[in-house]
Amino acid sequence: ESVLTQSPGTLSASPGDRATLSCRASQSVSNTYLAWYQQKPGQAPRLLIYGASHRASGIPDRFSGSGSGTEFTLTISRLEPEDFAVYYCQQYVSSVFTFGPGTKVDIK
Amino acid sequence: QVHLQESGPGLVKPSETLSLTCTVSGSSISNDNHYWGWIRQPPGKDLEWIGSFYYGGSTDYNPSLKSRVSISVDTSKNHFSLRLSSVTAEDTAVYFCASDRSISWFYYWGQGYLVTVSS
């Protein structure tokens, strides 16, 4: 079973800062099968990035994804007030979905 | 635009079976090329995938839940259902239904439905 870990657990930042979130897989993941979500309290997750680097419909271009193999990154170029939330990576491997434990981005 | 809405009992007794329904609008489960799934999130905890299916194809389940889970479809009502047997307090969670045209991520999500397991 492939496990996802995310770092940092919490990222304290200010509006306007650049945020870099990491997702590491215990086994190599095809880029096709790596996604990122944003979740705010009381809401369903929102798909941000699919296929490791493709922005989902309606997602601002300040969000970008990169990486391959076992190391993936979500970058928010300039944090807006609405970006403070929890971010999850997700993989699809051998017909099984796995989510990472999340990175909480909070206001410093 | 696909819209998903979860419904069902919000309180289930330990050892009983949890049953939820996801009603779909804006898309046809049987005619559109979508994958459909269930994900849950215990209060304050991480997301956990429960299972997914493609109409006319296979259904996949989380190996850790496989012995207790089943997903079924009612095309006449355009909804799909989740059954989780022998529940314990650890099954208390917000349950989401979700879908996408891709097999490997979910773009459309229901709002989520809290199910509490308690006597």
Give the model's pLDDT for residue B31. Answer: 80
8 Å CB contact of B46 and A57: no
- Residue A80: φ, ψ to 5°: -100, 160
8 Å CB contact of B104 and A35: yes
Query: Which residue of chain A comes nearest to B53, CA vs CA?
Result: A95
Give the model's pLDDT for residue B56. Answer: 86
8 Å CB contact of A95 and B107: no
Low-confidence residues of chain A: pLDDT under 70 = none
Long-range contact set of residues B13-16: C-beta below 8 Å, sequence gap at least 24: B13/B117, B13/B118, B13/B119, B14/B87, B14/B88, B14/B89, B14/B117, B14/B118, B14/B119, B15/B86, B15/B87, B15/B88, B16/B87
| Residue partners of B31: CB distance under 8 A and separation at least 6 | none
What is the rounded distance in angstroms from the CA atom of residue A98 to the CA atom of residue B91? Answer: 18
How far apart, in Å, are the Cα atoms of B5 and each of A85, B109, B112? Answer: 23, 8, 8
Amino acid at A66: S
Give the model's pLDDT for residue A75. Answer: 98
Contact by Cβ (8 Å): B49, B39:
yes
Instruction: Per residue of chain B (119 residues), give pLDDT as tens.
Output: 899 999 999 999 999 999 999 999 999 998 888 999 999 999 999 999 999 999 888 899 999 999 999 999 999 999 999 999 999 999 999 999 999 999 999 999 999 999 999 99
How far apart, in Å, are the Cα atoms of B39 and each of A58, A75, A78, B49? Answer: 23, 25, 30, 4
Residues of A in contact with B3 (CB under 8 A): none
Give the model's pLDDT for residue B46. Answer: 94
- Backbone torsion region of residue B78, taken as left when φ is above 0, otherwise alpha when ψ lies between -120 and 50, otherwise beta: left
Give the model's pLDDT for residue A41. Answer: 95
8 Å CB contact of A57 and B47: no
What is the rounded distance in angstroms from the CA atom of residue B99 to the CA atom of residue B107? Answer: 6
Collapse the DSSP code of B29 into the 3-class scheme (helix H, G, I; strand E, B; otherwise coil) and give the result: coil
Given the structure tokens 């897989």, which residue do they identify?
A25
Nearest to B49, CA basis, from B80, B23, B71: B71
Contact by Cβ (8 Å): A44, B111:
yes
Give the model's pLDDT for residue A1. Answer: 81
Collapse the DSSP code of A58 into the 3-class scheme (helix H, G, I; strand E, B; otherwise coil) and give the result: coil
Q: Does B114 touch chain A (CB under 8 A)?
A: no
